A and B are shown apart, each in its own frame.
Chain A
Amino acid sequence: MAVGSSGCALEKLLKKGAEADIYVTKWFGEEVVTKIRKPKTFMHPKLDAELRRHRTIREASFLSDAKDAGVLTPFIYYVDSVKGEIVMEYVTGKRLKDVLLAERLEKVAPVCEELGRCIAKLHKKNIIHGDLSTSNFIINDRALTFIDFGLSSTSQRLEDKAVDLHLVKQVLKSAHGKIWEKVFQLVLRGYGEIAGSGQIDALLAKIKEIERRGRYARVE
């Protein structure tokens, strides 16, 4: 049986992600999650090792920085940057992606607004999440938890914050094509509550500019 560098038994695979494999394991008797960035064999080993090390460190530090910003994230118990391994709190619940696909919009509206508020809180502290996909938010009866900070960075530039929101828009459009506009409006409303409506206008203008730069975007 495989054992992680933390000593946790890697038996129960929760999710085989693109970035990493997620196992449910035990840590001092607690049920926890072990996230392992396994070597990507398609990549050059040097590039792969560097990326995994980088992202593991980044993820661990941003998981904790996000808490300072007032956004819920899993607690970290153990980090091994060379093996690309993080042991963290097991947050149970549903992914926003599945909730959006299953529930009526009215029911999930408050969560969408809360999502906007949380993104704004991160941005206020200049934390750019970098991967705001609907599968990276976990909802339970308690709250909304953000996960997966492997692509996060620090920046005060409006451009980077706008790219972050552009990603939200893109994911909604591609995976939730029928309701994306309404959901995005709700996210923006929540965001505005924290950041102010002036900031929303500036961001929307910037998002437009970014989209115009996209390939074959309308020239007019």
Chain B
Amino acid sequence: MNKKKKFLAIMLAVVLLSLSAIAAGAMSPENQTEEITIDFWHHYSAQSAENETLVNVLIPKFESENPGIKVNAVSHEWAELHNKILISAGTGSLPDVARCDIAWLPEFQKMGVLVPLDQEMPDFADVSGKLLESAMSTAKIQDHYYGLGLNTNTKILFYNEKMLKDAGVAVPTTMDELISAIKALSGTNADGQQVWGWDEPGLYGWNLCPFIWSFGGSLTNEDQTVATGYINSPASVKAIDTFVSLYKEGALTGFNSGDIPMTDGFGTNRYAMMLEGPWKIAELQGAYPDLAYGTAPMPAGEGGSVSVLGGEDIAMFNTAKKEAAWKFMQFMTSDFAQIEMAKCGQIPVNKSALEDATVKNAAFAPFLEAIKTAKARPTVAAWSEMDNELNVAVTAIINGEKTTQQALDDLAGVWDQLLTQ
């Protein structure tokens, strides 16, 4: 009986403890103060320099300048952020402000959850006037602006200097040179491990568009209403064909679950080349400071040197505490915030920040050139779904379930439907 009493006492203690914990939870800061808290969702990855800057420099500065406003920043993985925003939109639990991939805005706008800033914010023209027009154009859907440009980027060629030198390969400048370089750099290293000429971490538009465009292919027509005749045009088919055959020859990898992650593979001399964005410079500096690598423009093909335009807008949702949210958006696009972020590889879109000495000398100078010729992925609401279909189609080619022509013909049909919805 004694033992049982002891156990009862433990159970009772557990109950009391948990009740007190719950009570403590109920007295969360929200209830204690009259401060406004705005939720800011982003996809700066949790251990990145960007996130450090955001949490330790930008938000404290904003909060001290705007007493009474607190910022609750939440980091999600890129794809996760997209999904979380969609779910929250459906359930009415959206954050106030989010950093959104420029490819997502049309989709969110179509759902009717974004605030048309030019209509609701009287000083919109002043604020947007300070930002690059090209960046602001990513936030314009039909006749209204649904966000502010936050940062821009594109991908350029990263190459391992030693591996190219050892193989006697020059830095490729054309598509033909790139393909023969990829082949020449693949094989085995001194330890007998396989090495690959090229790393491509996915089979999505972000990964495949530079190839398709540089081969002279395209995804849709100019008006973004039809895909048949574009994604399955001979040039597009040739681009995907080349990509897949490089994979089958063992010259290219990276998108499989079991592959070495991009940064590690490049840092440990297993991937000779890759197409990546400006954030990779800081990441390599942190993880593989001794690695000797160079950067070069995307090699030019029949379609020229065309990389894919990336970047993020900062947007406000219609359930937001609008005044505070707008203040935060202005702060994030101010020259102070933009220069701080530039130090971690985020290319500013604020015109005066771009004139700043730290920005001009930043490591991303080569990217500024590439942005001029980079193209955006289709700016349509159905892009996320189209992107998934592209992944499925190319996977089917790689598994040998369909020929490239077949798969892309089928894909064109699916895309046509998605584009008319």
**Binding partners A and B:** no
What residues of chain A have their CB less than 8 Å away from a CB belonging to chain B? none
What residues of chain B have their CB less than 8 Å away from a CB belonging to chain A? none
